[in-house]
């Protein structure tokens, strides 16, 4: 897997989310290494309050649109809440279904507790990306989207999670919203690349949610960076269209 080679060469890995055909084309042309069809689509595209309300059906619908863009970048699909926790059989079936619809790898949230399932998915021939630190699919139990790794017992658990996933055969590990010195320690300790979001700069790569980067999300986490205000650009364009129709400027005879 290219990502592991990149870590060995000390080359930073860049990933971003995308959920549809046009944006998959855009982010691929922009040169990302990986595209995640993330379950964040529940919030930033479908307007839900958290990521718990979507299932495989929704991920597959968006995955198929992304795959149609034929990206050069690696396409990773999120395994949504409830698609891998109930039984190993169901987890294997869910992962296989995502691959049948074009995913080149799958991502699961969790550490030690899912290591056996991860090992089986890897054995089946499906590359797996881990996701530790803040796991948004556990937001109800956590009581919010909190910075992880501040307490010693939490640090030890997250480190154990990373080592268990490495042992289970993942090709990369997302570390979300975790204290930067712990993300740095994990990055040094594991042989697979760490791809961070809100966990500082000392990781092998970074991932952001596309709608945060483009200023389209309603709520943008403080650790994200907004590179463009597409919301404003889109609003201005549509406002202009409204004005021009109302004033009779559009359509002109050339726009027939
Ligand atoms: O769904 C998603 O966008 C993610 C990223 C935050 C890593 O899992």
**Cα–Cα distances in angstroms (integers) from residue 50 to residues 17, 40, 41, 231, in the given order:** 16, 8, 10, 21
Name the residue with the closest Cα to ligand 1, atom 2: 38
SS3 244: helix
Helix or strand (DSSP H, E) at 157: helix 152-168
50 falls in which pLDDT band (50, 70, 90)? very high
Give the residues surrounding ligand 1 with Cβ less than 6 Å away. Answer: 17, 36, 38-40, 78, 174, 176, 197, 207, 209
Query: Looking up tokens 């990781």, which residue turns up?
Result: 203
Higher pLDDT, 163 or 2: 163
Tokens of 13: 């890995």
N-to-C CA span, the chain: 52
Contact (CB, 8 A) for 19 and 66: yes
pLDDT class of 1 with cuts at 50, 70, 90: low
Q: Is 113 labeled as catalytic in the residue annotation?
A: no
pLDDT at 62 over 70: yes
Phi then psi dihedrals of residue 12, to 5 deg: -65, 140
pTM: 0.97
CA 114, CA 17: separation in Å to the nearest integer? Answer: 23
Q: What pLDDT score does 34 carry?
A: 98
| pLDDT given at position 8 | 96
Residue with CA closest to ligand 1 atom 1: 38
């Amino acid at each position: 897997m290219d990502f592991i080679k990149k870590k060995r060469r000390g080359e930073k890995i860049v990933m971003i989310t995308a959920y549809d055909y046009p944006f998959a084309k855009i982010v691929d042309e922009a040169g990302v290494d990986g595209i995640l069809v993330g379950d964040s689509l529940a919030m930033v595209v479908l307007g839900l309050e958290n990521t718990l309300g979507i299932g495989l059906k929704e991920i597959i619908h968006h995955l198929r649109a992304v795959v149609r863009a034929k990206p050069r970048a690696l396409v990773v699909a999120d395994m949504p809440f409830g698609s891998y926790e109930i039984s190993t059989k169901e987890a294997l079936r869910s992962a296989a279904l995502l691959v049948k619809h074009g995913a080149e790898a799958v991502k699961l949230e969790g550490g030690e507790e899912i290591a056996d399932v991860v090992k089986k998915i890897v054995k089946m021939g499906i590359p797996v990306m881990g996701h530790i630190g803040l796991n948004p699919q556990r937001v109800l139990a956590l009581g919010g989207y909190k910075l992880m790794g501040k307490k010693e017992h939490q640090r030890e658990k997250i480190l154990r999670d990373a080592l268990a996933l490495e042992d289970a055969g993942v090709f990369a590990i997302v570390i979300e919203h975790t204290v930067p010195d712990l993300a740095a320690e994990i990055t040094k300790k594991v042989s697979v690349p760490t791809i961070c979001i809100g966990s500082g700069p000392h990781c092998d790569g970074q991932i952001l949610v596309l709608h945060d980067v483009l200023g389209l999300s309603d709520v943008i986490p403080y650790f994200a960076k907004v590179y463009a205000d597409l919301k404003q650009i889109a609003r201005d364009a549509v406002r202009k269209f409204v004005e021009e129709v109302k004033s009779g400027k559009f359509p002109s005879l050339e726009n027939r």
